[in-house]
A and B are shown apart, each in its own frame.
Chain A
Amino acid sequence: MATVIKDLNMNFDGYHALKNINLTINDGEFVAILGPSGCGKTTLLRLLAGFLKPTGGVIKIDNSVVADSKKITSPNKRNIGMVFQSYALWPHMTVKQQVTFPMQHSIFSKYKTQKNREERTDAVLKLVNMQAMGDRYPSELSGGQKQRVAIARALANEPDLLLMDEPLSNLDAQLKIEMRREISNLHKNVGGTVLYVTHDQSEALGMADKIVVMSQGEIQQIGTPKEIFYNPVNPFVARFVGQSNLIRGSWDGNEFTYGEGEKITDYEVNDSFKAENLYPVKADGLEIVGQNESHFRGIVKEVEFQGFQNKIILEMQDNNHLQVFGAADEEIRQGEMYGVRIKKRKNMEI
């Protein structure tokens, strides 16, 4: 049931929205496509759904070609489900009618009799905890409830591939976290392949088996959440997903010089950082020292107490801002100058 995307390209009147996308989505996987708005992630999703025809490349679902530059299989002839960003619930149908709809009309429907469909509708509504609201119209539902109905509708016909287009972006923060947990659980319980588009890195990191980071129509990195977070391959991924500080300096082989002559040697930094003379380091990979103990100095702009730790923002001498975690009991005074050092990693040679 794998979905294979090969050399996919999409042009809109001269605007190159997708450039040579290659991606395999395995059966049962939860894949998140992560990127800022305008990176092409929604275009990719719409190509998979069949609403757009690619200008180049091939999409195969289960070894049969569903789209290339000449021909596409229309959405109703692909066995897919989709949760829209706006939910797209039909205002003139009740919750039950929405959920039954795909079973009635899809050529892939496994539920041929009215009784089968009713049972399935009840089962799916139970799954999303909406069994009591079956006769309501969308206008009578809250945001979170609409969301659940949209998911129930997408799941009803047991699609081979479930597409989700920023499904949580219209919910408030509390509901977002709740629904995130529910979608994860749903995936664990129901199985099935999910492609989840989002611009929120915490959603991607928290739910996905595999993350695809995109920017400007290109895939930047594919990997597990841990790989993406800890080993970003380029400055974009480091900034967007890893919440890394990027320290300016200069590379000479594996030796990085920063501040006024501070040096560190690291064998694991990707060449793309070296090309831009940057060093990626997380907030917990830095330590604050007295201003005479380091040649890399800055003024503390903000100290935010976070319970277990302090989050400290420094403005460095090169006007770069750094984020550093410090121990909660360590006293750092706002407005004063401190030195900053990159901590040694366990497997790092000095």
Chain B
Amino acid sequence: MSENKIRRYIKYAVGTAFVFLLFLWPLLNMFSEAFIAKDEGFTFAYFANVLSDAGFAKVITNTLLINICSMVSAGIVGVFLAYVMAYTDIAFKNILHKLLLIPLFIPSYIVTLAWMQLCMKNGLLYQLTHFELYSYKGIILMFTVCQYPIVYLMCLSHFRRIPRELEQAAVVSGCGRVKAFFKVVLPITKITIVNAMLLVFLSCLDNFGIVAFIGIPANINVLSTDIYKTIVSSTKDSYNIAAVKGIVLSVLAVIMMLATQWLSGNNKAENCEKEDMEPRIMLGKWKFVLAGVMSCFIGMFNIFPLIKLVSSALTKGQGVKLSLKTMCFDNFFKVLRNVKSMNGIKNSIFLALMAVLLCTVIGITISYLSEYKKDRIASGIQAVVTFPYSIPGIILGLAMILTYAGSFHGFTIYGTIWILLLSYVIRFTAVSLRYANSAFAQLDTSMDEAAQISGANNYVKWKKVIIPLSIGTISAGMGLVMIYSMMELTTSSLLWSGGTETIGVVIFNFTSAGLSNMASAYSSIIMIGVCAVAVLLKVIDKSVRTIRRR
């Protein structure tokens, strides 16, 4: 074996060990906790306890009921919206499309908080409809409002890829538009739709904000809130019990995960490579009517609650109607003077920046080796790194507690900000990795080879060719990791401690303490901040582009 080869193997051994310890060890540790009692060693007792508990059975039925209903309703809404946006020439398409994506960028717990303000007992909406938010219906509504963009986006892209001749052939054969939709479009996209719906299911399984804000007060428990309650109850064997429940949740998540993978692997429908952006259904004057109806719905579901959130932040007491007389900025001042809430902003920004940096570096390295260099070991590592992303965040939180609660040679990261950073990296590297993969998939190997042939060394090759060509896609991934980390709640709710609050934790604590006006004020500040940053980034991006073009 040549020296080079040995060096290469050592590099891989170290890399693999590092990735394994970082990404998999905490989860394995948690799984073993379910079977090991403190004094007795290996036992099935915890399992037997949990599985024979009628309360837990109720939790499982709740979870399945809520998730399946949410998945179906998000599916119907998403498919309908995608069809309208993909095929009709509805007016103001671009703006409507952007407005439809709002729930992707605002964390579900803020949306929920907004709806909580909207559905107050003395509010107009409740008096008109008597809609009880703190119920199964309420949770399902919230899930639908927050998750339909997943279905919408996936179907939008697939609808546009269906060759228009397929539909035309159906119309020529005598089908009307509606019949063509059910006989041609739907069958072709059914795998994509089912896949998107499963992703909604997974996302609901992972969600903590909605079920914590609405479910806990209504005493409707699902897996993630039940595990959270078990952990914070701090009884003798609460961690073991939580671990068992965690295994149940993981199994459910992994089954869903495998199902989506299997489905997308079997998706053999022949489609156009490129999205066909031209509308296929001309509505004539009706395009304005449809746009009007659509914007009413968007306004009702995506925008009005947020306005209500801001306005309730501007009133003194809960449920006070906003008018010029009652308007005051007290809540905002209180929040800005509050040490904890300021800590939250500081910590979240720090965590997000660090997580973006680390996730991107790890993601690009693994992706370059496995996707571009076709290295098999790196492909294995890739599978390990993506695994924690499919595991619900509450489980990762538990696993981190169990693994890092003790001190390691007098060195403890539990209770510090570093455990939060570590868990974010474990969770979100998969996101960076996915974007890096698609960046490298678009980058033809000949680009790299042409640089080498032209005499470029490694440094020049990366600087002048690979990075400029992949930066667009990779920075989209960075933006996503940034948003996810800034707004993370599930894992943080378990891992925070005094001084290491994050934005999500601050809002959660305000809400749990019944200070929903404070929570609203804080959320409003965050939303305005995020918007400002987004606009700033857009402006920078545009000006960089124009400078480059020159």
Using a CB–CB distance below 8 Å, which chain A residues touch chain B? 49-51, 70, 74-76, 80-82, 84-86, 88-92, 101-102, 105-109, 153-154, 157, 163
Contact = CB atoms under 8 A, between A and B. Distances in A.
B446 A86 contact: yes
Contacts of A76: 452-457
A90 B454 CA distance: 12
Nearest to B548: A92
Given A76-B457, A101-B464, A70 B446 contact: no
B2 interface: yes
Nearest to A46: B449
Contact of B457 (A84, A89, A105, A108): A105
Q: Is the interface of B mostly helix, strand, loop or mixed?
A: helix
Contacts of B451: 90, 101, 105
Contact of B450 (A90, A92, A107, A109): A90
10 contacts: A51-B452, A75-B449, A82-B450, A85-B446, A86-B444, A88-B450, A90-B447, A91-B469, A101-B456, A105-B454
B444 A92 contact: no
B7 to A, nearest CB: 14
B24 interface: no
B449 A49 contact: yes
Contact of A157 (B454, B464, B469): B454
B450 A108 contact: no
Interface in B459-476: 460, 464-465, 468-469
> Chain B contact residues (Cβ within 8 angstroms of A): what range?
10 to 19
Contacts, number: 69
A90 B465 CA distance: 7
Contact of B468 (A84, A92, A107): A92
B465 A105 contact: no
A84 B457 CA distance: 19
B469 A92 contact: yes
Given A70-B2, A90-B469, A91-B469, A75 B452 contact: yes
A48 B450 CA distance: 14
Given A51-B452, A90-B469, 12 more contacts: A50-B452, A51-B449, A70-B2, A75-B453, A76-B455, A82-B449, A84-B450, A86-B444, A90-B451, A90-B465, A92-B469, A157-B454
A50 B444 CA distance: 18
Contacts of B447: 88, 90
Contacts of A154: 453
A283 B456 CA distance: 51
B260 to A, nearest CB: 31
Given A75-B449, A88-B444, A105 B456 contact: yes
B227 to A, nearest CB: 46
Contact of B454 (A51, A102, A163): A102
Interface string B35-62: 0000000000000000000000000000
A51 B372 CA distance: 13
A258 to B, nearest CB: 49
Interface string B425-464: 0000000000000000000101101111111110010001
A91 B450 CA distance: 12
Contacts of A70: 2
B501 to A, nearest CB: 43
A106 B452 contact: no
Contacts of A157: 454-455
B446 A107 contact: no
A101 B449 CA distance: 13
Contacts of B455: 76, 102, 105-109, 157
Given A90-B469, A101-B464, A153 B444 contact: no
A328 to B, nearest CB: 45
A49 B453 contact: yes
Contacts of B456: 76, 101, 105-106
A80 B469 contact: no
Contact of A106 (B2, B450, B454, B464): B454
